[in-house]
Amino acid sequence: MAYNFKEVMSKPERLAPGHRMCAGCGGTIAVRTVLRALKEGDKAVIGNATGCLEVSTFMYPYTSYEDSYIHNAFENAGATLSGVETAYHALKKRGKISDNYKFITFGGDGGTYDIGLQSLSGAMERNHDMVYVCYDNGAYMNTGIQRSSATPMYADTTTTPAGKCSNGKMQNRKDLASILAAHDIPYVAQSTFTPTMKDLYVKSEKAIYTPGAAFLNVMAPCPRGWRYDAADIMDICKLAVETCYWPLFEVVEGRWILNYEPKKKLPIEDFLRTQGRFKHLFKPENEHLLVQYQEEVDRRWEDLLFKCSR
């Protein structure tokens, strides 16, 4: 399908300016792009798990969202929106609602990978007609940069500090997109911010307008937790893709599809070097840690290529 992206980018914003998110934050870029994929005339109900995005875009009775908005607890974004979606269909069947509504909920990695996983899993397994979007910034950023299961290996956080006795978080990050694909739902995709933003926009449109449950996992860098200059966010996202740390793929009705393969796969050091949370890895005595990191990235990349080749 051809897109006129000048026209796409001219769509009215559904997330109003004036919110309190940090400059250089990936969360609001993700939200604006996803909501831009809604068609003119369609209304939406937006859910939001507690986190950076919630506290910065909502302060009762005010909200930055132009659509209907629900703030729920940290752990139940999936349950909240699945309940609203069920009520909507019941009311529409009785003729009490005529407008077309879409149901989209946002959660950070803390509220998605960890605390809200049971709620998300239940909503997806029941195949509610909704989209769950995880803006993955790799830690509990809102409460002080504590590690989550989305935090990458060897990242320096306040609960896995790098120093004389530790090299940061010791575990690999959870592969949540694969876990959601295993729920056998109609649509799963992984994306981040590319130069044209086309990848995330197209996947958002597919997710919103595919009947049934859909999940989007979006790498959304955090300047405070990752420690980078705000202006560098797009370069960091590009390096995440080019090093195959964050591959772009989708799973459509169980079929794995690779959306982009680098012509020349860059070494993982190029991505890690852009972030202060990994600076300890570049000490001479830690060269072996970079080797281990590269091996893990290569292993996951080869596994993805195998899934997409079947």
Report the pLDDT averaged over residues 173-192.
98
What is the domain extent for residue 232?
5-152+174-261
Task: Look at the chain and report how many structural domains it folds into.
Answer: 1
Q: Is residue 45 part of a domain?
A: yes
Q: Is residue 67 part of a domain?
A: yes
Q: What is the pLDDT of residue 9?
A: 76
CA separation for the pair 103, 43 (Å, rounded): 9
Q: Is residue 301 part of a domain?
A: no
pLDDT digits (tens, 9 = 90+) for 258-310: 999 999 999 999 999 999 999 999 999 999 999 999 999 999 999 999 999 98
Q: What is the pLDDT of residue 18?
A: 82
φ/ψ of 298, rounded to 5, equals -65, -40
Report the pLDDT averaged over residues 235-239.
98
Residue pair 112/54 in contact by the 8 Å Cβ criterion: no
Q: Which residues 6+ apart lie within 8 Å of 288 measured at CB?
A: none
For the CA atoms of 112, 113, 115, 117, what is the dihedral angle to 10 degrees? 80
Q: Is residue 290 part of a domain?
A: no
> 3-state DSSP call for residue 134?
strand
pLDDT digits (tens, 9 = 90+) for 102-150: 999 999 999 999 999 999 999 999 999 999 999 999 999 999 999 999 9
Q: Is residue 168 part of a domain?
A: no
Q: What is the pLDDT of residue 20?
A: 87
What does each C-alpha distance from 287 to 242, 282, 292, 293 come to in angstroms? Answer: 21, 7, 9, 10
Q: Is residue 191 part of a domain?
A: yes
Q: What is the pLDDT of residue 1?
A: 64
Query: Domain of 257: which CATH number?
Result: 3.40.50.970
pLDDT digits (tens, 9 = 90+) for 9-49: 778 899 988 888 898 899 999 999 999 999 989 999 999 99
Q: Evaluate if residue 3 carries a pLDDT over 80.
A: no
Q: Is residue 37 part of a domain?
A: yes
Q: What is the pLDDT of residue 247?
A: 98
- If you average pLDDT over every residue of the chain, what do you get? 95
Q: Evaluate if residue 59 carries a pLDDT over 90.
A: no
pLDDT digits (tens, 9 = 90+) for 194-227: 988 999 999 999 999 999 999 999 999 999 999 9
Q: What is the pLDDT of residue 6?
A: 74
Q: Is residue 167 part of a domain?
A: no
Q: What is the pLDDT of residue 2?
A: 67
pTM over 0.85: yes
pLDDT digits (tens, 9 = 90+) for 83-99: 999 999 999 999 999 99
**Tokens found for residue 296:** 């893990």
